[in-house]
Structure 1
Amino acid sequence: MIYAFGTCILDADRRELRRDGTPVAVEPQVFDLLLVLLAARERVVTRDELHDTVWRGRIVSEATLASRIAAARAAIGDSGAAQRLIRTLPRKGVRFVGEVRETAPEPAPPLPDPSHEAGPAARAEAPPAWPAAGTGGGLPGLAVLPFANLGGDPAQDDFADGITEEITTALSRLSGLFVIARNSAFAYKGQPMDVRAIGGQLGVAYVLEGSVRRSHTELRITGHLVDTASGATLWSDRFEGALADVFALQDRVAESVAAAIEPTLQSAEIARRERAAPARLDAYDLLLRAQGLIGTFTAESLAAALVCLDEALALDPLYAPALAASAYCRAQMHFQGWAQPDEEAAAAAERRAWQAVERAPNDGQVLWMAAFAIWNLAATERARARPLFRRALLVNPNAAMALTLAGWIEAMCGDTAAGRAMVARAQRLNPRDPRGWLMSGAMAVAALVDEDYPAALRWADLALGQNRRFAVALRVLVVACGRCGQPARARAAARALLEIEPDLTVSGFLARIPMPLERVARIYAAGLSAAGVPE
């Protein structure tokens, strides 16, 4: 069914929402909430009904429910103050009150039959129902195949299906990824799985497959991310938990899988595009190349990344992911001291960050990248970065980098308990994240703000063990070593810091880096100066 209301069109079958003709990224639970309200718009929907339909009988907190209703309003251009479309009736429930027009969707193309008697080679040669992955400049596609029930207990079929659905939902929140709908993927349930043939039939570059096994009171879940072109396994992991806590286990597995797969897919896409070596790069190719350069994290690679992003924006000036990545890259150069002070360049990067937010207000990655850039580069509106981080985490609460950077900023603002909790969640979600040095660095900053210098030293050492060029961790190390009675090591760390940023001065650092707490600014100034950093 297709619902049209105001300036929005919601396609229930395709699970797509458009506003003013532009696609809107919507968290799956928020989309489900909109569907329920639209279908029952002639009456008030109670909170119990929402628990039953959106959360499948699980009771969630009032704060969670309120946040999803707020996100639904934001997605369709409504607000809690206006309530033009979604109205809350105190102690009764919620109702969709806008004028709605319903139309039937156009028939979808038929899905190829995965149980066809022809062999894998014959099936692979047949024309796919969708364009083959990797042949154009579109987003990479992924299908979550039904998890196999290896225990033989039919009662575990529902659990295996539930795990598959939860992971599909969590992955659909990721930016820069197209996830095949559940119904299409479930057509392969119980069928022999040739991932290369499935990749061609569904038009996806990647497949996530897995299994569930029960042993007495324990459940074991395994997952594998496979490249459909080569058949290579890109990621795999195993999760175990008590049968009594099945819902908590489902949530933990889905969250961890989503957090781990995001950086894995990004690396795989970068490598795939490099192997393809297209004669003419499009904006997406250039964005991927820039992301690879940002990950290298040197002064030269970040400068080269900015060139790639400028080229991408020359091809598509309103490409929100490139706008946000450009601003984020400039912010990284700024806090590392790898960019000369340039108010005009900083202002231009801030403008790009806000442009990205305007173009993609429901893209979690765009939001956290823009938020970090605004925090570091804004001349007057730095505080607006914190609500952007919160919005990013509403869209995708499993985004490890959003959690890490938001936690860093919260700690710098003095709320170290909240900041540490965010970073700790990021570490739990993806303990093998290749950007783990950022997480450790954020923990080091939180410890410094708390004046827990031994902990700050330990976290800084951990960050620098992964990335010796991380100036944030080196600064914390300088200060923490001085406070822990290790002046020689503090001076050595200061020399390493000056190798990364030869023009560093204490006054220049304090003028460049946001320091909401004067007390923390004094701690940095005293520690850097005592270790030999010029005034």
Structure 2
Amino acid sequence: MTPHGNAGHGGPNGERYRFGDILVDAAAHTLSRAGAPQTVEPKAFSVLLILLRHAGELVGRDDLLDQVWGHRHVTPGVLTRVIAQLRHALGDDSQHPRYIQTQHALGYRFIGDLHESVAPVPAAEPEEHEEVAVLRHAMPEAAAVAANEAIAPFAAPVPTAGADFTTRRKTSDQRRWWLAVAALLAIAAAGYWFGQRDTGVLAPSAASVAVLPFASLGERQGGDYFAEGLGVEMIDALAGVPGLKVVAAPSPGGRGEVDVKRLGAQLGVATVLGASVRREGSRVRISARLSDARTGFTLWAHSYDRETGDVFALQSDIANEVVQALVGVLPAGEIEAARQSLARRLTPTRNVAAYDAYLKGEQRMREQAGGDARGADSAINFYRGALAIDPGFARAQAGICQAEITRFEDARDSAAFARAQSACEQASKMDPSLREVSLAMGDLYRTQGNAKEAIGYYERAVSDPALRVHAYLGLAAVASTQGHGKQAMAYFERARQWAPRDPRVAQKRGYHLMVNGDLAGAIASYREALEYAPDNPDLWSSLGGLYAISGEAQQASRAYERSLEIKPSYEALNNLGSLKFEQGAYEQAAALFRHASEIDPGDFRTWGNLGDALTASGSTAAQTRAQYEQAATLGRRYLELKSDDAQSLALVAWYAANLDRAGEARALLGKAESLGTERGEVALLGAQTMARLGDPAAARRHIDFARKHGIPQQRIEALPLLRSLTATVEPSSEREPGAAR
């Protein structure tokens, strides 16, 4: 790894760094903030120096462990602790960093602005005018060299980056005038240099466009779905143009003007496309504008007024205008192919009424992703409506398949899987070449545990840029299930590169980290997802669950309450009920679980939670048997389809123990432990199961193993069945507790 060009001033014996009010002196091994010394341990200081020497670069977590600790046989937690110590010393905020940026599960990057060395300047140093000094201070080395040549006849040379400087005011008006001219020449040289150099991932590609959400105008009730759907279709269509980088821009909010230049810089694009949609009677009017993100100037603007039946041709016209505007920078010979691709993508059906119903279904699926638990059910109804109008509408059939899979995964509803299988098979018969069908089939096989088939379908879906992010997330999920953590993270990173601000990417990555025991990384990922989707109740509920697992009850409660404020859902009710249970408020917990079961009776976990709350509040085994029977029945159906879900196996083992089915309980728990995932949660459930079966020695082994894998003591003591067992625990061991022993 090559050190960053601006890092390290004063030579090997005088390496010093200044950023903000921070001064770091490597030789003296000191760190000060606003002149006040800050104490950090030697390892922390070494980590800071490495980050500073590679300022702006991502330094991998393993690289830091290698360089500072000399090997990787230390847990990543020591690095997390050191970074937290540095942030405290620097006055940095992990959620809004100024200096140290976390690239979750990958490493860290120094993002502060490094200033020149503050060492005293020798008296013989040539004088330099203030205006030139300030200009040079913000100038890269190549531009400074050009500036030196420009002002050589009039002033002392401008030092290149890394040299010391001073500022002394001159009074000569003539010299001031010449220096102003020189400054303009230097600015021109710097502008040329910046225009020619490779500025990295944020440098806008000439063939790149950000598409803003299409705005809905007019009085039409509920018309947002149409405008929003057209915008999404436009993104997907343009993403299929070879050589064109397409980014979905976030909603600007309100009705204010978009700062095109700022948005372009944030997203690294050269152009921005925005449009408004108005439907009145049988006509639709779309006003579109393509802007240059560097200057903010409009490249073209046009209003299209057509019959609603011409909406497909209208979309193609707009897309072709974008392509035409970028004709000079798109690969030669691919323009006509791009136009044909756009026409195919933007005409999924010839029937506008079917298309309208399809767009409504797509909106409901976006609402499902945004936290509406019933969005998938509503979407299926609209997709079916689209197929009733156009029986050959393959994308609508693939939509049904995706919605049923979502239902199966979110609610553990085994009946949804059979419906998904039927819908996917039908979509494949209608159009086996359709990449949406490939994606749906990949999801179907993934949920079934058939990795080989899933990977094959995902690799086909990856060829469609509009589906690439979803396909990469699917491949990451398969790799995660197979225990290939590094490969999974690589797929997450690919998805992030295609969609830098997509909350799905951070959410799925967070789930992967949680399953593999990295709770701190999982929490950070979910918090990142919430930066992009702050009103998503599911994300808040999941974050609350992670806080609860980590033993941060207050944080968990706030997250659950925020989720329920946005939209009541059975997931949030379940999670808040679990928190109340751990706090000993069993009757409140039971009421929350009952409410959750009324919203969605298909999730076996809700019934099991209700059984637990009733048992803890004093109900007899006979009174709770119905809840555990329902939980076990639904859970077994789910496991027939998803046999690699370790926590679900352990849950059904617990239900079996409460139903006095000792053999079944031990067998299921043994299978859960053999998978080697979610080890802490599985061990905690195993401890309860063994205690219920009257085997306190096995229960204590499970408790000890749960502690070793991150389960806080307060969570263990919150479980009535384990409370009396926590005082005496067998000696620590890394061996699996062994449910069958």
TM-score normalized with structure 1 length: 0.47
Structure with higher Rg: it is 2
Instruction: Give TM-score scaled by structure 2 length.
Output: 0.36
